[in-house]
Structure 1
Amino acid sequence: MIRVGLISHLSEVSGAGIALLRIGRALDPERFWTVVVLPGRGPLYELAQKQKVRCEVIENPEEGMADASLRKRIQLGVQRLRYIKALMRFFRSADIDIVYVNTTITVFAGIAARLAGKPIVWHVRELLESPTLGTRMKMWLIEHLSDAIFYASHAGMKCFAAPRVPHRLVVRNIVDVEKFLHAKASDSVVKELGIAPHEIVITSNGVFPRKAPDIFLRAAAEVVSKTDKAVRFLLVGPPLPEHLEYYEEMKKLASALGIEKQVTFAGLRMDMPEILARTDIFVSPSRNEAQPNIISEALV
């Protein structure tokens, strides 16, 4: 039995988090013992419990240092060190054989795994084009810490070749094709989202900077200005704790562009098959994603 630790950097529900739970459920239980390690008891923890996915919570503040004060940075630095130490102890006490890190956004789990002497599989979900200095430092660490790298797409592999890593391959996200193929848009979902029967529905997901909802909204304004057809724009995704102000800024942007009546901020949705069934066009304006779950789901 191979014991695998699946590490999430967020306790919020996101595409990467959902992909992680799908891996936890898909691995053959006759061959693999899996545990998803979360930084807090948030919505992703609740979803994992509902899906009967084994979880361990090791607290880690879900805050960035970029805009923090010096005092806050020191505090976060201390908390990060505690997190690394706690992860290292868990990997050893749980006798983990392989540590699977789910994103390039943070590197702390990889550091903890290396200190614990555990092999690391790193999943690169992002498209690391034109990386900043900070991102290049993370890429260097990931390349030197990893025993294997999975890429969400060939484009992701091209952007971050990591030649020092002995095992590199493209691993697509898991999609329940039958679930999306046979989904129907229920009347309740359509009514809740304010979709009229005659409207063309254009959907995007993620209301935080990396997902580029600002580009989506500006494109929506262009569409509205050039057509007489009734169009409904759906922006799916909750206001994340670290991007609450940004979420409100996007609402203000929709208003400033004069399209607030055509845009629905749908919040967190667990019924994406039904929403995509009513969607005519799906748009991914994301600034650096390789191939997120939603692209494969929308193509079904």
Structure 2
Amino acid sequence: MTDTITDPQAEAEIGSAAEPAAEAGLWSDAWKQLRRRPLFLISGTVIVIVLLMALFPSLFTHVDPVTGNLDQSGADPSSDAWFGRDLYGRDVYSRTIHGAGPSLAVGLLATIGTVLVGSLAGLVMGYARGLTDAVLSRIAEIFAGLPFVLGGIVILTTFNKPGEIVPAGRLIAQVVLTIVVLTWPLAMRIMRAAALTAAQQDYVKAARALGAGPLRIMFRHMLPNCLAPVLVYGTIQLGVNIGAEATLSYLGIGLKDPVVSWGVMIAEVQSRIIQMPHALFFPATFLVVTVLAFVMMGDALRDAIDPRGR
């Protein structure tokens, strides 16, 4: 009988060479799947249009969104103002177009923060396990147990005194940080589950046997193989975070005038919905369609990346 001698260095080299090829094959196959899915094409078209609105609002309107005429307060839609005018006589169409920018900015920044914090914590937990995993899990459970609306009220009212005028940049930063603090545990759980699986793979064991440090193992070997589920989560969460900004603004603790966002527009008309329903309908419709587009995009990505969903 001949004994089989295992060379850890050879295993590591084979694993390292196979990882990029497998990863490239996964994303290439996923892209082929996505191109044939109407769900992806429809949601992608909507997202591109909304991004153009956010980045280049002048392509859609040249009307100043903050200048109003009180003589036309609450005017119905017309050729002069396609979506009508709000309580202060401002063009609702122009405000809806310009409102895409702050709404998407908050959603995108909050999603990046949530994914970074949650993924880093989950990666460390999945690799280290033991006491580190237990401690971070208990901390995450505390934040996960906080109701979003209640947590947002507590955090934002602690930062700002009633009636205090807060600069727009600072207010946006506070809303983003609030959303990150209250939503990171879910990203952590997704990354932790993927990291626990990756930590048991042969290429990780071989790298550890060769003396690779924890940081190299986590970020060079484990992270690329854990990104797919987090990417799907981040896409869906981006839409959810846009809705979260609107929720906080509607409650009067999020963004405020003179910032123009869909949440601010909905908040401004909440006491006059009967008199001017158009001022609520159009920003709310854009908000719902945008959130739905990101959720649909996330579903399409999940089905394309997960072989079990095909």
> Into which bin does the TM-score normalised by the smaller protein fall?
under 0.3
**Structure of higher CA gyration radius:** 2
The structure whose residues are more often strand, as a share, is: 1
By relative contact order (CA 8 Å, sep 6+), the higher-ranking structure is: 2
Compute the TM-score of the two structures, normalised by the length of structure 1: 0.25
The structure whose residues are more often helix, as a share, is: 2
